[in-house]
């Protein structure tokens, strides 16, 4: 929209149509064998290098350049090129002093990967990361220093970023943009490239050659569609992303709106805060970053000819005693020390703009009272130097020299203009208001008054992106000086945006569960006001669920944040509250062929494999459509999708988890625009009988999560009966104290089977053992072993169940044979895949089906009989078949429904057909039509899992 500035003017424009990956300029070898690509340390000043390209545009001075600072090095061990991933033959290679990028000499002119020193300035849309718990990740490389992750490191829960703990403060805030937030909303989405850590068998989309490597950080992959390519080849692909094979299952980020302000991404994506990384002292810095640790190559005991220095980058790190260590020769010149200090903080500006100031060392007594902090790099190295007789490391602070003027990039916020940014020169007279006046004509908005715009400072921290509106009289030059005085690292991560001064109407949806069930909206409002002092003017109850959950509409950011934090420590009637931040799904903007998948994962099922699946599905899909069932249950997911016209459900868990989700679906069906969503199963439990019947397998054992999603997309829809069981303990005859000891009536739902007697007794003993020592029940094989042990203990058990119960089928009394267990089955699988009914034809009964509206009643004579059934040697005793059953319990008896056991008091059990049949997805017999190799970023659960 705005033309390039004429010669002699003070502004430069960034070309909004350019993209990273354009040809880099040829390196120029300098003295000492150095080769610098693009705008190295002499590139200028400002919040980033003057000639460093923006993620969405380049400066007028030339194409995108990666700004590496290469020097020729002698190789002493096998080394590979980070561009082509081939072995570097000979003894010479070229190494970037800042980011450790290694290259052949012939590859230098083709390097397009930006240096870590300028990477923050290349981010197109700043989005913070969500780091999970520390873990050991095999054959993975750090995205900042490019070195292998040999110690516990972090990975983002939303994208495939892997990083060392002490590199976290220097990571770009370039996570996937999974929703609109009112700051950078786009109609189209480009590929979101992530470098390296590709599967070994991954092939380039362009040249079809292998682009993965286990030796270096090489190759790129789109975080949305999963397409893989070499760094050079990626420039040949169309910039727009189509979301790949899973596009109909992905909830498009353009259809999700969430105004989160200061809510962290952990809160927005409902990631439990217990998984937040424990970095350093977890201080509350501006970007939430942690203590700065030492560089990756700092030796514990430097040679006698070298010295180790503590380096601070400003007042913030000095205050917290967070420093980085550099090792330099003892006779090094001050310029060499300064270069090393700037490299430690990934600062790529001209070293002439900075100086080192000596920092007073603490006294030995103070050192003894305040030892080095965890992650600061001040303990092991200092102890080693003391033991070797070396003197204490010296401490220095990097300071920016005073400047009379600066070149500053100004980015358009919501403004849709033809440039990515404009560069202007600011002096001591430049204020936020004058900058807006100067920038508007360059953006083609000169017709609008400056009062309609304001200048916003954005700090792009790796874990949180914060915005601050600058006052009109704010001096820009002084502001830049203050930021550099605080932290040079923060200065490299700070941008300035011109945005419209429109008032954004706050709207935050808080889902609150754990309340007493069955109250009215007014009663819930009064209860929450009493418990948390909600402000009636800003908080209203928009939805009520009979299970004891409400959705609050909050029109004040501060009030929403207060309620969210307060609810974590609030209990109502003895029950703790659970609060979740939910976005809005813009269902009218969904593509016509979009049928997003709502994913529920129980991370406690299946030997804790659910934790890895939870992370994998957040990366493969939009994390907003993936729910952790231990954090609020299934209701928040169904509420989020309540207006989606067509969606499907994937439940990752055991039979009990599936029943939980199906029950919640039935209770919320009248709230849903899609009242009959089809449900698929990824079995994680021990029995998994429903998953077996629907061909999803006996249990998850590390299959490719991407292949699982493809199978869900190609699955066939089938109907399965659901049954209602009314438990009424008041109707037992012949027991004088039955009314006094009776339980209130309750209703449970059943999909698989209901067991009374010995079957339920074994399940109850197993359940109690798992409750006592849950840490031992992380293996499916171990769980089955416990079942066997419990069964052997009861092999001589004789109770005579047929004497303690009465059975009516369709109002007809049925005489029971001598049995120890009575089982009602709806599916042809029981006890981990056994066929209890049998395959023999019987003229008395119809052939069983899952959708025929009939239940089969089978008896077992004891533990031995059950073992023979599971071994395929016998079948159960066929007793009846019908659609309505009445069981009278004459004494307290163990009962289990879909694997959930309890002891039922004497009374009646009435089993009848529930409402509509549930729509399930059965895995297709044929193999998926699309090979899993298309998706290169599918993460098998065993590899890379947190320890």
Q: How are strands ordered across the β-sheet holding 220-222?
A: 193-195, 220-222, 228-229
With a pLDDT cut of 90, the percent of the chain lying above it is 33
**Which is higher by pLDDT, 26 or 398?**
398
Q: Which range is least confidently modeled, 26-30, 136-140, 715-719?
A: 26-30
Residue among 297, 293, 300, 397 at smallest CA distance from 354 = 397
| 3 state DSSP class of 468 | strand
Tokens 């004429």 locate to: 6
| Alpha-carbon gap, residue 366 to 371, rounded angstroms | 8
How many secondary structure helices (H) and strands (E) does the chain include?
A: 19, 46
The predicted structure's pLDDT at residue 705: 92
pLDDT greater than 80 at residue 333? yes
- What is the CA 503 to chain-centroid distance, rounded? 31
679 pairs with which residues across the strands?
Answer: 649, 920
pLDDT tens for each residue of 369-401: 443 333 333 333 334 343 344 455 689 999 999
In the prediction, which pLDDT does 874 show? 87
Q: Answer yes or no: is pLDDT of 12 > 70.
A: no
Structure token pair of residue 709: 């999603």
Among 24-28, 549-553, 768-772, which stretch is predicted with the lowest mean pLDDT? Answer: 24-28
pLDDT of residue 745 exceeding 60, the answer is yes
- C-alpha 912: how far from its chain's center? 41
The pLDDT value given to residue 813: 92
Which two tokens mark 910?
């009435």
Report whether pLDDT(289) > 50.
Answer: no
Mean residue pLDDT of the chain comes to 79
Between these two residues, 652 and 64, which has the higher pLDDT value? 652
Strand, coil or helix: what is 93? strand
For residue 187, what pLDDT band results from cuts at 50, 70 and 90?
Answer: low
The b-or-e profile of 45-68 (16+ CB within 10 A means b, else e) is bbbbbbbbbbbbbbbeeebbbbbb
Window from 59-68, 719-728, 862-871, 936-945 with minimum mean pLDDT: 936-945
Which tens digit of pLDDT belongs to each residue from 829-840?
A: 888 778 889 888
pLDDT at 54: 32
Which pLDDT does position 380 carry in this prediction? Answer: 35
Q: What is the pLDDT of residues 232-252, one digit of tens each?
A: 899 899 989 999 999 999 999
- Judge contact between 611 and 603, C-beta under 8 A: yes
Does residue 52 register a pLDDT over 90?
no
Mean pLDDT of 95-99: 88
Model pLDDT, residue 646: 95
Mean pLDDT of 121-129: 85
| Mean per-residue pLDDT, 653-660 | 88
Report, as an integer, the average pLDDT of 778-788. 59
* Number of neighbours of residue 794 by Cβ within 10 angstroms: 16
- Taking CB atoms within 8 Å and a gap of at least 24, the contacts of 390-395 are 390/301, 390/302, 390/304, 390/307, 392/361, 393/307, 393/308, 393/309, 393/310, 393/325, 394/307, 394/309, 394/310, 394/358, 394/361, 395/309, 395/310, 395/311, 395/312, 395/323, 395/358, 395/359, 395/360, 395/361
Residues of the chain with pLDDT > 70: what percent? 78
What's the length of the chain? 947
Mean pLDDT of 191-214: 88
Residue 44 has pLDDT above 50, yes or no: no
Using DSSP bridges, classify how beta strands 679-683 and 648-653 pair: parallel, antiparallel or unpaired: parallel
Spell out the residues 6+ positions from residue 191 whose beta carbon is closer than 8 angstroms to its own.
Answer: 222, 224, 225, 227, 234, 237, 239, 240, 241
- Domains of the chain in start order, with CATH, are 70-110 (3.30.60.20), 190-242 (3.30.60.20), 305-359+393-401 (3.10.20), 402-500 (3.10.20.90), 508-582 (3.30.70.330), 724-732+744-922 (2.60.200.40)
Buried b (16+ CB within 10 A) or exposed e, 719-747: bbbbbebebbbebbeeeeebeeebeeeee
Q: What is the pLDDT confidence band of residue 531, given thresholds at 50, 70 and 90? A: confident
CA atoms within 13 A on the CB side of 79: 22
Worst-scoring range by mean pLDDT, 48-62, 185-199, 217-231, 491-505? 48-62
The better pLDDT of the pair 22, 636 is held by 636
Q: How far apart are CA 356 and CA 338, in angstroms?
A: 7
Q: What is the dihedral of CA 791, 793, 798, 802, to 10 degrees?
A: -30
Read off the pLDDT band of 37 (50, 70, 90).
Answer: low
């Amino acid at each position: 929209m705005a033309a390039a500035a004429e010669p002699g003017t003070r502004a430069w424009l960034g070309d909004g149509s350019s993209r990273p990956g354009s040809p880099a300029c040829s390196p120029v070898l300098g003295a000492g064998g150095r080769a610098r690509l693009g705008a190295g340390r002499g590139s200028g000043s400002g919040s980033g290098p003057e000639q460093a390209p923006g993620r969405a545009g380049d400066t007028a001075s030339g194409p995108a350049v990666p700004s590496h600072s290469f020097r020729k090095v002698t190789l002493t061990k096998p080394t590979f090129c980070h561009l082509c991933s081939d072995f570097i033959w000979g003894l010479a290679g070229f190494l970037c002093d800042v980011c450790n990028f290694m290259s052949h000499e012939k590859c230098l002119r083709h390097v397009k990967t930006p240096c870590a020193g300028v990477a923050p300035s290349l981010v197109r849309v700043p989005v913070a990361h969500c780091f999970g718990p520390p873990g050991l990740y095999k054959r993975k490389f750090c995205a900042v220093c490019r070195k292998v992750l040999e110690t516990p490191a972090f990975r983002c829960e939303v994208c495939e970023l892997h990083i060392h703990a002490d590199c976290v403060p220097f990571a770009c805030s370039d996570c996937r943009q999974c929703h609109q937030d009112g700051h950078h909303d786009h109609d189209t989405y480009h590929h979101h490239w992530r470098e390296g850590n590709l599967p070994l068998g991954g092939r380039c989309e362009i040249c079809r050659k292998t682009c993965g490597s286990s030796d270096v950080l090489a190759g790129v992959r789109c975080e949305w569609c999963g397409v893989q390519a070499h760094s050079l080849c990626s420039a040949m692909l169309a910039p727009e992303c189509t979301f790949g094979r899973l596009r109909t299952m992905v909830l498009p980020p353009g259809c999700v709106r969430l105004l989160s302000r200061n809510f962290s991404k952990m809160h927005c994506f409902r990631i439990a805060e217990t998984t937040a990384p424990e970095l350093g002292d977890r201080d509350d810095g501006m970007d939430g970053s942690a203590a700065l640790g030492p560089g990756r190559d700092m030796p514990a005991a430097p040679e006698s000819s070298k010295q180790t220095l503590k380096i601070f980058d400003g007042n913030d790190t000095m205050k917290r005693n967070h420093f980085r260590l550099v090792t330099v020769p003892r006779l090094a010149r001050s310029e060499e020390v300064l270069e090393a200090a700037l490299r430690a903080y990934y600062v790529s500006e001209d070293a002439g703009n900075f100086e080192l100031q000596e920092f007073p060392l603490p006294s030995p007594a103070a050192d003894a009272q305040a030892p080095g902090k965890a992650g600061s790099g001040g303990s092991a190295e200092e102890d080693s130097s003391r033991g070797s007789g070396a003197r204490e490391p010296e401490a220095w602070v990097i300071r920016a020299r005073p400047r009379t003027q600066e070149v500053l990039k100004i980015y358009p916020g919501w403004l849709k203009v033809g440039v990515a940014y404009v560069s202007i020169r600011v002096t001591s007279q430049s204020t936020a208001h004058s900058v807006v006046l100067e920038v508007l004509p360059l953006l083609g908005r000169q017709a609008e008054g400056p009062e309609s715009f304001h200048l916003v400072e954005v700090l792009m921290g790796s874990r949180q992106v914060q915005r601050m509106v600058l006052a009109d009289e704010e001096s820009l030059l002084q502001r830049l000086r203050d930021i550099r005085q605080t932290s040079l690292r923060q200065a490299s991560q700070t941008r300035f945006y011109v945005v419209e001064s429109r008032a954004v109407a706050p709207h935050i949806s808080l889902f609150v569960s754990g309340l007493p069930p069955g109250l009215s909206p007014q009663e819930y409002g009064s209860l929450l006001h009493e418990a948390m002092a909600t402000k009636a003017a800003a908080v209203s109850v928009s939805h009520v669920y009979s299970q004891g959950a409400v959705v609050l509409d909050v029109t004040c950011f501060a009030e929403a944040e207060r309620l969210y934090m307060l609810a974590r420590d609030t209990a109502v009637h003895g029950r703790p509250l659970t609060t979740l931040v939910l976005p809005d799904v813009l269902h009218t903007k969904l593509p016509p062929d979009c049928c997003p998948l709502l994913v529920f994962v129980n991370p406690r099922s299946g030997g804790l494999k659910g934790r890895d699946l939870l992370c994998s599905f957040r990366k493969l899909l939009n994390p907003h459509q993936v729910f952790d069932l231990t954090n609020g249950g299934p209701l928040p997911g169904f509420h989020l999708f309540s207006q989606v016209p067509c969606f499907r459900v994937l439940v990752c868990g055991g039979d009990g988890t599936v029943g939980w989700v199906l029950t919640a679906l039935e209770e919320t069906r009248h709230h849903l625009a899609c009242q009959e969503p089809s449900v698929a199963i990824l079995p994680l439990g021990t029995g998994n009988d429903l998953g077996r019947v629907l061909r999803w397998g006996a249990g998850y054992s590390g299959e490719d999560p991407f292949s699982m999603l493809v199978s869900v997309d190609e699955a066939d829809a089938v109907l399965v009966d659901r049954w209602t069981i009314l438990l009424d303990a008041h109707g037992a005859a012949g027991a004088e104290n039955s009314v006094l000891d009776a339980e209130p009536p309750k209703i449970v739902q059943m999909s698989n089977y209901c067991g009374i007697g010995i079957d339920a007794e074994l399940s109850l003993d197993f359940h109690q053992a798992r409750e006592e020592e849950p840490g031992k029940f992380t293996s499916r094989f171990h769980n089955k072993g416990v079942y066997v042990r419990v069964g052997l203990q009861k092999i001589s058990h004789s109770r005579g169940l047929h004497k303690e119960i009465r059975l009516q089928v369709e109002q007809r009394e049925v005489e029971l044979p001598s049995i120890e267990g009575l089982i009602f089955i709806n599916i042809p699988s029981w006890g981990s895949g056994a066929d209890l009914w049998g395959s023999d034809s019987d003229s008395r009964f119809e052939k069983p089906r899952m959708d025929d509206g009939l239940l089969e009643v089978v008896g077992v004579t004891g533990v031995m009989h059950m073992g023979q059934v599971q071994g395929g040697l016998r079948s159960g005793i066929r007793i009846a078949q019908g659609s309505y059953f009445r069981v009278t319990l004459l004494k307290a008896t163990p009962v289990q429904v879909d694997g959930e056991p309890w002891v039922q008091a004497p009374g009646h059990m009435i089993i009848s057909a529930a409402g509509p049949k549930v729509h399930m997805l059965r895995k297709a017999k044929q193999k998926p039509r699309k090979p899993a190799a298309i998706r290169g970023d599918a993460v098998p659960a065993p590899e890379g899992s947190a320890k």
